[in-house]
Each structure stands twice: as structure tokens, then as C-alpha cells.
Amino acid sequence: LNGPDVQSVILLLGLQGAGKTTAAHKLANRLVKDGRRVLLVADDLVRPAAIEQLKALGQKINVPVYSEDGNKDAVKVSKNALDYAKKNGFDTVIVDTAGRLQIDEDMMKELVAVKKAVNPVETILVADAMTGQNAVDIAKSFDEQLGLSGVILTKFDSDARGGAALSLKTITDKPILFIGTGEKTDDFEVFHPERIASRILGMGDIVSLVEKAQQTVDEEEAKKLEEKMARNEFTLDDMLDQFERVGKMGSLSSIMDMIPGLAGQVDESKIDMSGMKRQKAIIQAMTRKERNNHLIIGPSRRKRIAKGSGTSVAEVNKLIKQFEKTKLTMKKLSKNRGMQAKLMQQMGQMGGKMPGGFPGF
């Protein structure tokens, strides 16, 4: 992309159903985190509700969406969007273009005209990885007529989809820039061939896992939490914050795919995520005083919390017991740094003997 003083336009292309609009909002979210001022442009004037979908996704990440009610000229909309972006100080413009159920002449003519009008620095195809060889053929057609600079693969997991990625790169000679690995906004990664190969082989991808964790944890906040633990001041509010951070790391299956020994072994549809949601609901049903001092939560308060969170008293009791156990463990670890080092050393020595198959962890 160009520097912040020069406008950069990213043109997103693809067939209908490939996940282009979702990819636009995920890409926008990533660029905002990199310090860019992003404007999304709703230039899909064919699919019903496409504009409303992009507006809703833009609102979710606080990125404005440019659209024109009633204007059916994609070229004019895109040109007007660039003028608007320039006047309002946006350095990056992502144009979400119209797709079709299949490649046709009218679609290509419109896209060629839009590309000429906006002069993009990146012309990116959004392709559905689940279509396999078909994704490769689509990329080839788009590249021949529009000249692609790269590809975003959506609905990507670590098994057969990896083959499609390798074929696409070989045949089109265009880089795969990003992969969409789930439904959440942050389930969007830079494509690293060697890391994906590791996941396909079941070897995990610890580097990406660490990067995901670093994106969700602020160093200063982590230090404050460590100090609170040392003073034995870890509260239910802190526990709720940890639940939120785990949620921001993406879908559970995408996280599991990065852990050695678990890559490709976890079926997210068989994982019950309602437990964490219920625990969050319990904490959220507490008053500020109760979150800061769980010792005041007696039987009558527990009954009220259960009712307010739509759970049972038994579940409230279980959460508080779990919290007390967590707090005790954290206190021990924070007081004894030697214990932490010893624990890590023991884990390293165990190598492949860790239960559940965590080789070398």
C-alpha cells in the first residue's frame, strides 16, 4: 500500500457466495489495527441486501461505509467514493464489487470499467477454498481479464483446502495474501505457506498462536494483571476479561489447529461453547461489589445471580469454586517464580510424554 499521504485503493473481486463482503470487513479491521484510515465502499449493486450487509459489518468494527441509494452505476459510485475519501482524509479505500453466480461477460465489463476508474494498488480475488480446483479456474479467468495482484482464500481449514491453495499459487503465480479461517472478524490470517504446511501435517503452528495472543493482550495490561496476582487481588472482573480475550483470539478450531498434536483433530461442531458463555453471563449478572469481592456472595445473592443470568445456583457455585481455585494457583505461581521456571523445565523434559499428545511442548 501507499504511504498515509497517498490514497491506496484495494479492489475486491469474486463470485457470489465466496465471502467477498465478509473478507472486505475483515481486511478493513486488520488495516485499522495497522493504523490506516479505512473507508469501505458498497459497490455491489447487484446482490439484494449487499449494501446493508456491508454497513452492518462496518458498524461492527467502527469503519464507515460509503454507499449511494438508488445509484445503479458501479463506476460512478466508486469514483464518487474516492472523492469522498479524499475530502475526508481516508488513506485506504476498499471497494466491494458485485459478484455473479458464474463468470459472465457483463460482469467482467463492469469490473474492467471500475478498475480503470479507481486505479487500485491491489486487485484481489476473493475465492472460496472449499470449491477446490474450481477456485483455481476462477482465479485464472479473473487474472487473464483483470490482472490480479493476489488472492484471499475464504472458508479455509487445514486439510484438503491446503491443496487448493498450493495449486492456485502454482497455476496463477499470484500470491495468496490472506486466509479466512472462521466466522469471527479476527479469523483472518496472513498466508504463510510453511505454517499452513505444518498444520496440514498435524504439526501445529505455534508462531501464529503466539501472534494471535500478542494481538489480544496489551503488554501494560498484562503487567498490571501480574501485579494484581502478586498482591492476591485477582477478581471476577479480571476473570471475565480473560474470557473476553480468549473469544477475541478466534474460533476454537482455528486455535486448536495451531497446537502441535491437535492440528486437524478438532471438530468445532462437537465442542460445547455454551459453558463459557454461561460463565460470562453469571459474572455479568453480579454487581460491581460482588465481582470485586466474591466472599460477600452468600446464598441469597447466588440465587439472585442465577436468576439474572438464566443459570442455576449449582452453576454459580461451580463458577465461584473455579474462581477460588484459579486465584489460589495464580497466587502460588506469582509468589514463586522458581516454581514457574521449574514447571516449564519439566514440561520441556517430558517431550512427547505430555497427555493428549503435545510433543515437545
Same domain, 173 and 264: no
Last residue of a domain, one of 164, 179, 212: 212
SS3 8: strand
Please write the tens of the pLDDT for every residue from 224-283.
766 777 677 888 988 888 777 766 666 656 665 554 444 555 555 555 556 778 888 999
In sign, the C-alpha dihedral spanning 182, 184, 190, 195 is negative
Residue 189 belongs to some domain of the structure: yes
Same domain, 342 and 301: yes
Same domain, 206 and 239: no
Same domain, 164 and 299: no
Same domain, 237 and 287: yes
Residue 279 belongs to a domain with what CATH number?
Answer: 1.10.260.30
Same domain, 196 and 252: no
Give the residue with greater pLDDT, 64 vs 348.
64
Residue 95 belongs to some domain of the structure: yes
Residue 357 belongs to some domain of the structure: no
Same domain, 119 and 238: no
Residue 358 belongs to some domain of the structure: no
pLDDT at 163 (0 to 100): 61
CA distances to 71, 83, 212, 267 from 261, rounded to whole Å, are: 53, 51, 19, 14
Going by DSSP bridges, is the β-strand pair 38-43/150-154 parallel, antiparallel, or unpaired?
A: unpaired
Beta bridge partners of 123: 11
Assess whether pLDDT exceeds 50 at residue 346.
no
**pTM score, whole prediction:** 0.59
Of the chain, the percentage scoring pLDDT greater than 70 comes to 71
Task: Let me know: does 68 contact 13? Beta carbons within 8 Å.
Answer: no
Last residue of a domain, one of 197, 212, 227: 212
Assess whether pLDDT exceeds 70 at residue 344.
no
pLDDT at 114 (0 to 100): 96
Q: What is the mean pLDDT of the chain?
A: 79
The number of domains in the chain is 2
Same domain, 282 and 307: yes
- Residue 343, number of CB atoms within 10 A of its CB: 12
Same domain, 105 and 137: yes
Same domain, 315 and 301: yes
Please write the tens of the pLDDT for every residue from 92-104.
999 999 987 788 8
Residue 177 belongs to some domain of the structure: yes
CA 161 centroid distance within chain? 18
Give 127: exposed, middle or buried? Use CB within 10 Å, 0-12, 13-18, 19+.
Answer: buried
d(CA 313, CA 292): 20
> Over the range 321-342, which residues count as b (16 or more CB within 10 Å of their CB) and which as e?
eebeeebeebbeebeeeeeeee
Q: How confident is the model at residue 350 (pLDDT cuts 50, 70, 90)?
A: very low
Please write the tens of the pLDDT for every residue from 72-98.
999 999 999 999 999 999 999 999 999
Same domain, 129 and 231: no
pLDDT at 58 (0 to 100): 96
Q: Which of 108, 121, 38, 46 is nearest to 77 (CA)?
A: 46
Task: Let me know: does 94 contact 122? Beta carbons within 8 Å.
Answer: no
Lowest mean pLDDT among 34-48, 113-127, 296-310, 339-353: 339-353
User: Which residue range(s) make up the domain with 102?
Assistant: 8-212
Same domain, 223 and 162: no
Residue 57 belongs to a domain with what CATH number?
Answer: 3.40.50.300
Residue 360 belongs to some domain of the structure: no
Task: Let me know: does 78 contact 102? Beta carbons within 8 Å.
Answer: no
Please write the tens of the pLDDT for every residue from 181-234.
888 898 898 887 666 655 554 444 444 554 555 555 566 666 676 677 767 788
Residue 356 belongs to some domain of the structure: no
Residue 329 belongs to some domain of the structure: yes
Last residue of a domain, one of 191, 212, 233: 212
pLDDT at 264 (0 to 100): 54
